Structure 1
Amino acid sequence: MLLSDQAGQTAAAPKIPRPATLRESVIEAIQELIVSGQLKPGQHLVESELAELLGVSRQPVREALQQLSGEGWVDLHPGQGAFVHVPTVEEADQLLAVRTLLETESARLAAQHAGEEGVKRLRALCDRGIAAVRSDDVEGAVATNSELHSLVTALSGNKVLAELAAQVARRVRWYHTPVARQRGMASWEEHQALIDAIEAGDERRAAKIMREHTEHTRASYMEQRENEPVEPAPKPVRRRRPRQLG
């Protein structure tokens, strides 16, 4: 029997993983530069400079900026070029509110399903995050914070919930970076309390701690935006054509 004849009788064959294209790698690299704060909101993105920084030609950079524009990471202004997107307060508030909903449920379910090994992994991440804060390693603290929250979601046992949380995780990390130092050790003390609740199997307490924890980050970001508003990128200037003399 031919494979084509068996298609309706068997489950679909697993897809063979393909290596990331150059454009996908450049997209990931630019996103990471934005999330880490090395590229600031409103900053002008010059193709030639990015190409030199990433060690690639300008073509994949141009393609990456086009895609990042469609995903809300970059703003393209005709006549002026590309700029790092400046999140509006409303945009950030809405995303952080959705994050609270998703991660509160993740924490509740993690209290049911984490188990001894899951709790052990959470505590190891928490210890690493505390060490990063003590050494003033903001980038390390932010990355570890993201890992810890992702693990809580994974331990929930709900794959759909994990997929939805993953969709907002990188942008959440972008918003968290500017306030990570301000949140400091308090954030990790909240993590410790969360892990204690998960270890005890206390669903209600785990959900409550996570809800308050994510709301603290949301409030800190809003306060930071009020005190240090981000200037939008300049608007394109229309250039007049020279008048023809005749």
Structure 2
Amino acid sequence: MSRSDLAGKAAAPRIARPVPLRESVFEALLELIINGSLRPGRHLAESELAEMLGVSRQPIREALQLLSGEGWVDLHPGHGAFVHAPTAEEADQLLAVRSLLETEAARLAARNRTDEGVARLRALCSRGLAAVEADDVDDAVAINSDLHATVMELSGNTVLGDLAAQVSRRVRWYHTPVARQRGRASWEEHTALIDAIAAGDADRAGEIMKNHTEQTRHLYLNQLGEEEAPQPLPSRRRKRRAPAPFGG
């Protein structure tokens, strides 16, 4: 086949290239931060992280720069890298925005409900309750994120979903420390929410979601106020990174 013949054909799909190592290290470290393995204020030694992940120090250094750009890590010349310790103001602002977005998503999900969508929510809720009974916090937090993401998806509003995606991982980060305290009550609230969505009661669904997200917000802020938070050096201004899938 000649080159001219090839040019006339539809463009072939590009061969997928391997993800740069720094991106894989970024995702691995981010997950350790979100699930609490690397706690706020923790000093992040490049040599220790490199040994932990089985890589050289260069991709660790590059990943820390990426994490700093997104606000997960604070870099201080002469002192090193530290997991960012969120302030009460940061948490309050983000969780307040989350409450507004998810309240509207719940209302829209009730109006746009489908049998298949409700079934998906009930299945997730059942799995979440099982995780709570097994005291599997990591699984419960992950399923919680999936359930909230599903409500957002069922809302049918892609703009709303895009906005929610910008705060998704940080919401999960804030939710993880209080997940055990919220326990079964959180999933009972989920059950009531799903019932309202299934009934097409938009006002009730919005009210339940608002109260549900506010419970997490207040519990996290109360816990943050009671703890003696680490005192990292002042952080620099951070730039934004591409959004991630929503949950929390």
TM-score, length basis structure 2: 0.87
Report the equivalent of 1:241.
Answer: none
Report the equivalent of 2:105.
Answer: 106
- Cα distance, 1:20 vs. partner? 2.4
Report the equivalent of 2:19.
Answer: 20
Report the equivalent of 1:156.
Answer: 155
1:194, 1:210 within 8 Å by CA — same for their partners in 2? Answer: yes
Amino acid at match of 2:34: V
1:119, 1:199 within 8 Å by CA — same for their partners in 2? Answer: yes
Report the equivalent of 1:60.
Answer: 59
Report the equivalent of 2:40.
Answer: 41
2:112, 2:154 within 8 Å by CA — same for their partners in 1? Answer: yes
Task: Among all aligned residue pairs of Structure 1 and Structure 2, give the percentage whose two residues are the same amino acid.
Answer: 69
Report the equivalent of 1:168.
Answer: 167
- Cα distance, 1:223 vs. partner? 0.8
Instruction: Judge which range, 155-164 or 184-193, deviates more.
Output: 155-164
Structure number with larger C-alpha Rg: 1
Amino acid at match of 1:89: A
Report the equivalent of 1:215.
Answer: 214
CA distance in structure 2 between the partners assigned to 1:202 and 1:34 by the alignment: 38
Report the equivalent of 1:242.
Answer: none
2:112, 2:155 within 8 Å by CA — same for their partners in 1? Answer: yes
CA distance in structure 1 between the partners assigned to 2:108 and 2:234 by the alignment: 47
CA distance in structure 2 between the partners assigned to 1:175 and 1:20 by the alignment: 28
CA distance in structure 2 between the partners assigned to 1:19 and 1:164 by the alignment: 29
CA distance in structure 1 between the partners assigned to 2:42 and 2:14 by the alignment: 39
2:91 is aligned with 1:92 = yes
CA distance in structure 2 between the partners assigned to 1:19 and 1:200 by the alignment: 46
Structure 1 vs Structure 2 CA RMSD: 2.2
Please, which runs of 5 or more residues in structure 1 have no aligned partner? 7-12, 237-246
Change over 3 Å in CA distance of 1:17–1:166 after alignment to 2 = farther
- Cα distance, 1:166 vs. partner? 1.4
Report the equivalent of 2:72.
Answer: 73
SS in 1 for 2:229: coil
SS in 1 for 2:231: coil
Report the equivalent of 1:189.
Answer: 188
CA distance in structure 2 between the partners assigned to 1:23 and 1:121 by the alignment: 35
2:109, 2:197 within 8 Å by CA — same for their partners in 1? Answer: yes
SS in 2 for 1:136: coil
1:150, 1:166 within 8 Å by CA — same for their partners in 2? Answer: no
Amino acid at match of 2:121: L
- Cα distance, 1:235 vs. partner? 7.2
CA distance in structure 2 between the partners assigned to 1:53 and 1:100 by the alignment: 37
